[in-house]
């Protein structure tokens, strides 16, 4: 039955239906009304018309009554029997939510420029926004380059992070590092740009290829740069040096490691190690300024042929003496089975051969034969851990040694240092050793090998202890110290006075050097340009 055929029926029965519906609040006829309206035999044929009319009426009413936020909910109720319409509305609601979320993100970015940039973010909007901000806020921009970054934790990463965190109020800080498994750890205090890289599992580090990363180079091309500071002379550092030369800005390079020793251990050839060392030395020679941590590291640089424009900037720590809640402190000690009343000897660092970890085990293996009143606490992780545990078991040292594993919490590490008596750190590889400064904060002195980077600012029996690299010498010294705890504490107080220094103090020193070379470099560069223009005239 068509709508045209139904009109005569409607006109005959209209008066009856009108009387029944005038007292009703809504105008939708019920089932009995429809029987009279169309006739019972035609009721089923008119169901489609009824549904369509009712839907249109209710949709119009709802659009007038409800606001934008509740509109989608009301439409869902109206369309609860219409599967196709439900899907359409659901899709529309989802689309509106996406639009709203995008607006919120944009507002957050505009109102809070220093927020954390999410790791592995595909969108470039945040990076472009930060670059634009840095280019127009009137501050100088410093770009740091390094070949490692979080979650890989080493001394160089700690130095870069602390420089950037402390200087970000004075300068715009950008850190250029390799991506780690295609992700990059970022910060709210500075901008981190990640270059494409390959993770080398055997070494635990990423090898970057910045020269082939188009997006990475695009970011830097848009950034105004005033100074480049390199912390590694390998792929990232070499790229940074070329960038500084191209932009005609001063370049700083910090000497962090014994590169010749690294090459000798890797290639097992003195001739090849010398060639590779000369390549690395050229990076330092080409830089405007070379920095290092102490006089010992400066001697090594001189042996590589690096002799001009060397400035000394020491390492530091952010640790400060805290009065921890006794409950929290006991939880940490119980977690690692540490007894604060014992003579606790400490190691903090990566478990690698160059840190002399097997020398430590050899010394302890002999020490335990004459004195068992100690616990040695290994804090950290590394590729040698399983081999170390096997060696410890062979020497029967399990009861005297504790492995805490990797500790990321600064407070947890501070509690362990606070409840230790001595740092035994015989590394001959480190050019300084931040860990000795961290321990000095809590009056814990260091025992190390003489004529090394760690011993550079340690005066024997004044603010620490040094010995020649000999097992029997260290056994004798440790036995004496375990039996004379008060003497160790006295030396620890001197270590706190002589060795402890904060990153705030160090960054003030670094800032003065930056300012010095920014002024002189800009003056020289301006003078050269004037001379060139004069010659042309």
DSSP letters along 260-306, please?
HHHHHHHH--HHHHHHHHHHHHHHHHHSSEEEESSHHHHHHHHHTT-
In DSSP terms, 141 is beta-bridged to 172
Q: How far apart are CA 481 and CA 465, in angstroms?
A: 10
Least Cα distance to 228 among 140, 132, 127, 133 occurs for 140
Write the pLDDT tens digit of every residue in 153-176.
Answer: 777 898 999 999 999 999 999 999
Residue 535: Cβ-neighbour burial (10 angstroms; 0-12, 13-18, 19+): exposed
What pLDDT is stored for residue 178 in this prediction?
94
Q: How far apart are CA 301 and CA 76, in angstroms?
A: 74
Among 67-71, 129-133, 435-439, 480-484, which is the least confidently predicted range?
67-71
Concatenating the DSSP letter of every residue in 398-444 gives GGGEEEEE----HHHHHHHHHT-SEEE---SS-SS-HHHHHHHHTT-
CA angle 346, 492, 484 (to 5 degrees): 80
Q: How far apart are CA 467 and CA 184, in angstroms?
A: 42
- What would the mean pLDDT of 198-214 be, rounded to a whole number? 86
Write the pLDDT tens digit of every residue in 385-408.
Answer: 999 999 999 999 999 999 999 888
Is pLDDT of 368 > 90? yes
What pLDDT is stored for residue 55 in this prediction?
56
- What would the mean pLDDT of 246-253 be, rounded to a whole number? 95
What pLDDT is stored for residue 62 in this prediction?
56
In the three-class reduction of DSSP (H, G, I as helix; E, B as strand; rest coil), residue 349 is classed as coil
Question: Where do we find the tokens 């659009």?
Answer: 63
Helical residues (DSSP H) of 45-168, grouped into ranges: 47-65, 68-78, 83-111, 125-136, 155-167
Question: Where do we find the tokens 């081999």?
Answer: 387
Q: How far apart are CA 276 and CA 260, in angstroms?
A: 8
Q: For residue 151, give the DSSP letter.
A: T
Is pLDDT of 149 > 60? yes
What pLDDT is stored for residue 158 in this prediction?
87
Q: For residue 211, give the DSSP letter.
A: G
CA angle 328, 442, 482 (to 5 degrees): 100
Concatenating the DSSP letter of every residue in 3-53 gives HHHHHHHHHHHHHHHHHHHTT-SS----HHHHHHHH-GGGTGGGHHHHHHH
Helical residues (DSSP H) of 171-269, grouped into ranges: 214-222, 235-247, 259-267
């Amino acid at each position: 039955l068509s709508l045209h055929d139904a009109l005569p029926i409607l006109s005959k029965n209209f008066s009856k239906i009108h009387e029944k519906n005038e007292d009703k609040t809504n105008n939708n006829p019920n089932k009995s009304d429809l029987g009279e309206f169309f006739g019972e035999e035609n009721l089923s044929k008119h169901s489609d018309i009824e549904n369509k009319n009712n839907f249109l009426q209710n949709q119009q009413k709802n659009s007038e009554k409800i606001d934008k936020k509740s509109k989608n909910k009301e439409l869902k109720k109206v369309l609860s029997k219409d599967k196709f319409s439900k899907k359409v509305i659901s899709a529309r609601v989802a689309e509106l939510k996406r639009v709203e979320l995008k607006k919120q993100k944009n507002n957050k970015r505009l109102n809070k420029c220093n927020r954390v940039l999410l790791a592995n973010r595909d969108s470039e909007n945040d990076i472009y926004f930060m670059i634009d901000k840095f280019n127009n806020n009137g501050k100088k921009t410093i770009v740091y380059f390094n070949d490692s970054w979080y979650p890989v934790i080493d001394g160089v990463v700690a130095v870069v992070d602390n420089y950037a965190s402390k200087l970000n109020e004075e300068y715009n800080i950008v850190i250029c590092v390799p991506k780690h498994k295609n992700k990059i750890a970022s910060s709210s205090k500075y901008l981190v740009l990640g270059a494409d890289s390959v993770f080398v599992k055997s070494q635990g580090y990423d090898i970057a290829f910045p020269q082939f990363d188009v997006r990475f180079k695009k970011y830097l091309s848009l950034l105004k740069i005033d100074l480049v500071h390199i912390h590694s002379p390998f792929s990232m550092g070499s790229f940074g040096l070329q960038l500084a030369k191209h932009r005609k800005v001063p370049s700083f390079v910090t000497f962090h490691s014994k590169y010749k020793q690294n090459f000798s251990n890797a290639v097992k050839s003195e001739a090849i190690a010398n060639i590779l060392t000369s390549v690395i030395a050229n990076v330092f020679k080409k830089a405007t300024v070379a920095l290092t941590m102490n006089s010992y590291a400066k001697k090594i640089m001189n042996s590589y042929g690096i002799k001009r424009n060397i400035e000394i900037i020491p390492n530091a720590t952010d640790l400060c003496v805290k009065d921890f809640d006794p409950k929290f402190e006991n939880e940490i000690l119980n977690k690692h089975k540490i007894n604060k009343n014992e003579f606790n000897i400490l190691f903090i660092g990566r478990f690698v051969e160059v840190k002399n970890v097997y020398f430590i085990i050899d010394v302890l293996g002999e020490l335990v034969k004459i004195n068992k009143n100690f616990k040695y606490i290994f804090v950290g992780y590394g590729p040698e851990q399983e081999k170390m545990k096997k060696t410890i078991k062979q020497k029967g040292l399990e009861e005297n040694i504790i492995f805490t594993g990797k500790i990321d919490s600064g407070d947890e590490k501070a509690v362990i240092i606070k409840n230790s008596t001595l740092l035994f750190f015989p590394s001959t590889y480190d050019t300084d050793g931040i860990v000795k400064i961290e321990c000095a904060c809590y009056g814990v002195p260091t025992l190390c090998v003489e004529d090394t980077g760690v011993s550079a600012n340690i005066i024997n029996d004044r603010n620490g202890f040094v010995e020649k690299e000999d097992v029997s010498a260290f056994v004798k010294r440790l036995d004496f110290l375990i039996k004379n705890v008060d003497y160790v504490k006295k030396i620890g107080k001197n270590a706190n006075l002589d060795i402890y220094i904060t990153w705030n103090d160090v960054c003030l020193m670094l800032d003065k050097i930056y300012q010095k070379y920014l002024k002189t470099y800009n003056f020289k560069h301006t003078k050269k340009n004037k001379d060139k223009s004069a010659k042309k005239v």
